[in-house]
Amino acid sequence: MSAMGALSQLLALVTALVLAPLLTGWVNQWRHWLQNKSGPGLLQPYRMLHKLFQKESLVAEHASQLFRSAPYVIFGCMLLAGAIVPTLSTDLPLSPAADAIALVGLFALARVFMSLAAMDVGTAFGTLGARREMLVGFLAEPALLMVLFCASMITGSTSLTVIVETLAHRELAIYPSLLLAGVAFTMVSLAENARVPVDNPDTHLELTMIHEALILEYSARHLALLEWAASLKLFVYSCIGLALFFPWGVAEAHAPLALLLALPVLVFKLAVGGMAMALIETVSAKMRIFRVTEFLGTAFLLAVIGLLVNVLLGVG
Amino acid sequence: MSTLAPQLINLFATLILLLSFSMISQRRIVSLINLFAIQGAALVAASFLLGYVTHQPDLYVSGVLTLVLKVIFIPWMLHRLIRKLNVRWDVESLLNVPTTMLVGIALVIFAFSLALPISRLSQSIAGGSLGIALACVLLSFMMMITRSKAVPQVIGFLSMENGLIFAATTVTNGMPMIVEFGIALDVLVGVLILGVFMFQIREKFDSLDIHNLETLKDDSA
Amino acid sequence: MSALVFVLGFPLLGGLALAFYGHRPWARDVNVAFSLGTFLSACFLTNHTIDHGPELLWDQQFYIDPLNVFLVTLTAFVGLTTAIFSRPYMRVEQDHGKMTPPRMRLYHSMYQLFSFTMLLGFTTNNLGIIWVAMEAATLTTVLLVSVYRTSASLEAAWKYFILCGVGIAQALFGTILLYMAADKVLGAEHATLLWTSLNDVKGQLDPTIITLAFVFLLIGYGTKVGLVPLHSWLPDAHAEGPTPVSAVLSGLLLNVAMYAVLRCKVLTDGALGTQMAGQLMMGFGLLSVTVAAFFLSRQKDVKRMFSYSSIEHMGLITFAFGMGSPLANFAGLLHMTVHSLVKSAIFFTVGHATQKAGTQVMSEIRGLIKVNPTVGWGLMLGVMAILGMPPFGVFASEFLILTTAMREQPWAAPFLFLALGIAFASILARVLPMVFGDTTLKPLAHPPALLPVFVHLVLALVLGLYIPPYLNGWYVQAASLLGG
């Protein structure tokens, strides 16, 4: 482990922690602007985190230890994911510990804990949210895996850092299978991050919420950690997308000074991605929960087609 | 440039496949017609590109023919038709959408495996797209079988012709001109006849649901 | 000036003319006149080809050889006799109110255009144009089947269009693959879909491509031949259209599709050197024969029953051509001819019977012989002919096919016998009560045209007893052209 490596790893962690709420705020703000509203401001997530950390945590009487520890586990998973995904640099000492498949496993771990915690207290909404969350996850995970496999087939490895390095160094080429995988990935990330058209992050109506139902019972620091974890999840998903489909500008192991360039490039790419996400959210209508299966099924099958096209055309 | 052209053609091929899938899962008829028009446009682009790369003016003619017929005239006619027939609404399907998608995947795998040995033998630079073209044909075929309204069946039929023309364009740089004109004429007349039929079916049954058209059976008198 | 101009020109002109004037009273006679012109030109063409041998016409786009020239004449002949039959038949239909003047125009012009597309399909040298002609034939017959505008006929026509459209799209894919194989051998500038050019280089065509191409072509054109399991359009289309249309569908369209399959089979055999094509055809043929025979026994509608009989016979023909030996090819060609003649004759008589009874349900038609002895006897003789009773021609061809099967493909013979037996029993059991017994039928306002029926039956009888030498020569030549 070189010093540069440790530094870039630390920097990646800190960037993730700091930028994630900003990204959430950015997306929400753009949604409001596109709908001709004035919005709460870019820094609203920070303000909310600050407020929540100062409050007193209220926990139900018969809540188990799982309920209390779940936010920490989930936050830890997301933080580790943020450490693995090459956001600023591919020189990440932690990256050999987990490749793309393990990344999906991390998300799955977080999801399981979230669902169990929601059911732990025994309210109706919690169970409802847990069931829906598992449904979405059940369908989204294979799709995400297939998308990652598409990229892996082209580059020959499942490690995200290797994928980024290989793709960034290839000459500009149009990979049809990546086109299909891109569409599939967009659909999956909309589902996993509880965005319209799968789930409305603004809503508190019981019939329409998935994510909100899961965290309904939490308060104060637990809630803060969960909201932060959700922001981190959005951040990590965006970075995965950027790594697979727009990998240029990420610093490499032997170019430490590129780290300085990598940060503005990342911010710029995330900004554009955030705007695009807000646009998709504004244009789409939230679909019924029964249609979510079709939506994610389509994503899965698009990713599989991408794989098949790769095999057929012999090229990406 | 030499590697860009095959990549672009592969891109168009993938786009056409993507559109075939979205047509299968699409519920609104207006979007279905628009998707069909976009598919035609992708086909035209591929024809023009291939014509430019291989210096064959026949492909330009073929592209123009497809443009006039499948991107402009037939979608316009279908839009007019559904306005008159008043069939904008959601389309029922024989299988639910996830099952349809799974069957679609199986068809795509089948088509790819069938075409793989042949596309290696093709002389054209876009030979690898034969599997995609065959997959589009099979997907349209499935759309025709599983839809229960008349207009999606017609669109499935037309989209099948799209897949076939795409196969002809990429594998052999088009067919002899006279054959292409004949095919175009057949398609045009076919669509006109189908349009007339839809009016008559509507008149007789007051609906365009194909389930009304299943009464003829062997032991019916 | 080759007679081909007239062979193709008459029906095309007729179609255009009758589109405007097809509703006038004299339109029916004009229809017959155009068909007569087509038939005479076909006779001239045949004569010419017998004297001069096969020839390429008009920049190699048309090719007349022993295989297709007699089929052309057969088509023109049956077209003529059906036009004669349709004169009084459609008049009765008009009186009954089933046909209006616009529909008569459509009927007459589509009838002539249909002849045009069939003749184009036979005479063209370009495999792509064969496809175009088959699709055009489908389109014209779709309009013909739906001409009564009842809900049942609309259903039949829609089903026909969709199923045949899908089938024929497969054939287009097969044609594209053929073109690809030609492209590889002949190079991009000389690549062509002309059958004669492909025939010259068939040994060099790539086997993988040709195998896949033939499978698609067989499935595609086989849909139009009526091979099981692609046959479901056939009974509906036959039952719901006007009877003249059923006659030409059974008698002629199925032949064109078979011809297209045969042309492709010749190329495939040359390219592969194995019996794959023949084996596929034998399989489909056998399947069609057996399945059709079983379905036949369940029918209540007379036209549906005879349409299943058509499926059965086309299956038999496919099986014969699949066997591939010269004798089997000869038998197949003979069977194609007599089947056209006899089946159309049957449909003529059935048409008159249903007009008298006002229904197509067999249990409601009784005692034809008492009402109109000629119709009754015509039906009886026709049925005996199609069931393979000697001395009609069908007996000769079926006998040849069965004996060849017993010799070369013994495993298939039991199925064939079984199927033919079931068909025999079913049809006879249903037709006998129709012809004999007490009747409630009444004679028709206009006397039916029964001359075509008996002309056909006499021809079939003649072919069963004695094949004229030039006809025999044609069959032998054509059989050898088909390889084997």
Name the interface residues of B facing A (CB cutoff 8 Å): 3-4, 7-8, 10-11, 13-15, 17-18, 21, 25, 96-98, 101-102, 104-105, 108-109, 112, 115-116, 119, 128-129, 131-132
Q: Please identify among residues 104-133 of chain A the ones whose CB lies closer than 8 Å to any CB of chain B.
A: none
Question: C223 to chain B nearest CA, in Å?
Answer: 15
Q: Does B202 score more than 80 pLDDT?
A: no
pLDDT grade, residue A95 (50/70/90)?
A: confident
pLDDT for the residue C380: 87
pLDDT for the residue B7: 78
State percent of chain A over pLDDT 70: 92
Partner residue facing B104 (CB), from A173, A301, A309: A301
pTM for the full predicted model = 0.82
> Which of A195-199, A237-241, B91-95, C21-25 is predicted with the least confidence, judged by mean pLDDT?
B91-95
Indicate which of A138, A146, A305 best probes the interface with B, i.e. most B CBs within 10 Å of its own CB.
A305
Q: Does A315 score more than 80 pLDDT?
A: no
Question: A311 to chain B nearest CA, in Å?
Answer: 9
- The neighbour count for residue B93, using CB atoms within 10 Å, is 18
Q: What is the mean pLDDT of residues C300-311?
A: 89
Contact across the interface for B117 and C208, Cβ inside 8 Å: yes
Contact across the interface for A305 and B128, Cβ inside 8 Å: no
Average pLDDT score over chain B? 80
Question: Which residue does chain C place closest to B133, by CA atoms?
Answer: C173
pLDDT grade, residue A254 (50/70/90)?
A: low
Partner residue facing B141 (CB), from C166, C298, C300: C166
Find out whether C374 and C363 touch, Cβ atoms under 8 Å. Answer: no
In SS3 terms, chain B reads as CCCHHHHHHHHHHHHHHHHHHHHHHCCEHHHHHHHHHHHHHHHHHHHHHHHHHHCCHHHHHHHHHHHHHHHHHHHHHHHHHHHHHCCCCECCECCCHHHHHHHHHHHHHHHHHHHHHHHCCCCCCCHHHHHHHHHHHHHHHHHHHHECEHHHHHHHHHHHHHHHHHHHHHHHCCCCHHHHHHHHHHHHHHHHHHHHHHHHHHHHHCCCEHHHHCCCCCCCC
ipTM score: 0.85
With beta carbons under 8 A apart, name residues in chain A contacting B13. 176, 313
DSSP-derived secondary structure for A51-113: HHHTSPP---TT--HHHHHHHHHHHHHHHHHHHHS-SSBS--TTGGG--HHHHHHHHHHHHHH
pLDDT grade, residue B213 (50/70/90)?
A: low
Summarised one tens digit per residue, pLDDT across range C318-357 is 999 988 888 888 888 889 988 999 999 889 888 888 887 7
Q: Does B123 score more than 50 pLDDT?
A: yes
pLDDT for the residue B1: 46
pLDDT for the residue C314: 92
pLDDT for the residue C106: 87
pLDDT for the residue A285: 81
pLDDT for the residue A316: 39
Q: What is the mean pLDDT of residues B91-95?
A: 64
Average pLDDT score over chain C? 85
With beta carbons under 8 A apart, name residues in chain C contacting B190. 135, 139, 161, 165
pLDDT grade, residue C31 (50/70/90)?
A: confident
Burial class (CB in 10 A: 0-12, 13-18, 19+), C59: exposed
Q: Does C1 score more than 70 pLDDT?
A: no
Contact across the interface for A179 and B15, Cβ inside 8 Å: yes
In this structure, what token pair is assigned to residue A141?
């995970």
